[in-house]
Amino acid sequence: MLMALLAIIFGLLLLLWSADLFVDGSARTAKFFGVPPLIIGMVIVGFGTSMPEMVVSTLSAVSGNPGVALGNAYGSNIANIALILGVASVISPILVHSSVLKKELPLLTLASLVSILFLSDFELSRPESVLLLFGFAGLFSWTIYMGTRKGADTLSLEVDADLIVEVESNTIKSSIVKLVFGFIVLVVSSRMLVWGAVDIAGRFGVDDMIIGLTIVAIGTSLPELASSIVAARKGEHDLALGNIIGSNLFNTLAVVGIAGSIQPILIEPNMLFRDMFFMTTLNVLLFLLCYGFKGRQGRINRFEGSVLFLTYLAYTSYLVTVVISTQKLNV
């Protein structure tokens, strides 16, 4: 029991440190080689901060714990919108200027609806998982195309301003070392976290999906929390939002697709009717808040951010009551 708790604690700490190292090294390396800032912001920062979710879910699927894999991916999506954007917008209201992000918002909602369709039979098969990966490949290609087009986007300007000084003060060698070493520690720490979480779930008789939705999801979402809060405090609103949208797209398509390709996943009805429905509702709400209609600029103000945050607290409290009820039944 003590070893499992230590594995979770140290696994999370190492996970946070290595994820930051990996994303930082990746962004600086890409900048050094002349990758457009828009691609760095959407692909490397947005998708890169989801590396913990990808590694944890992949290891969970390989280890025969699909509940942790799906719970981690979808739980992280819920935390990204309700918890992280909620907190970030309370600190500084988020205004949406980027035209690229506005195009990604409906894609995120569509990806969630497709996921619900695939899971409507309570199983994620390998063919469905491969289709999710193809969808991610198409999105990735579109992102690169948008990043290479002429014309500056607000998101690219924010990323460029953040990276230009840092890249000049670091050599390419140190950036690559950060990238490689960060990834290695990321894998090791993810393995520690998965082992500890599964062990705790087994000892208390709790479904590993609940562990994935709560402890693991919050832990793997901490890189997004840190980067979004920093961006919001700097007034880089599109970078804060782009980080979340990119991460959620990566989780929904790539993370779940990889896990399901390794091993077909059976899910409980609660995952579909409770967690997937809540996640999709949040995606639709995010689209309505940030897209902007009839000339109104897309934004998340402090009141709306507070509502998102309180919604996440209510959702997590409900999951905790489920755990307590399960324990009482086992006793």
Q: Which domains does the chain have, with CATH numbers?
A: 2-330 (1.20.1420.30)
Please give the pLDDT value at position 41: 61
Regions of the chain short of the pLDDT cut 50: 165, 167
- Give tens-digit pLDDT for 101-148: 677 788 888 999 999 999 999 999 999 999 999 998 888 787 777 666
pLDDT given at position 325 = 72
* Whether the Cβ atoms of residue 31 and residue 168 lie closer than 8 Å to each other: no
Helix (H) or strand (E) holding 124, with range, is: strand 123-124
Q: How far apart are CA 226 and CA 228, in angstroms?
A: 6
pTM for this predicted structure: 0.82
Question: What pLDDT, on a 0 to 100 scale, did the predictor assign at position 81?
Answer: 93
Contacts 24+ apart (CB under 8 A), 177-182: 177/25, 178/21, 178/22, 178/24, 178/25, 178/28, 179/21, 179/22, 179/25, 179/26, 179/29, 180/25, 181/18, 181/21, 182/18, 182/19, 182/20, 182/21, 182/22, 182/23, 182/24, 182/25
CA pair distance 133, 115, nearest whole angstrom: 12
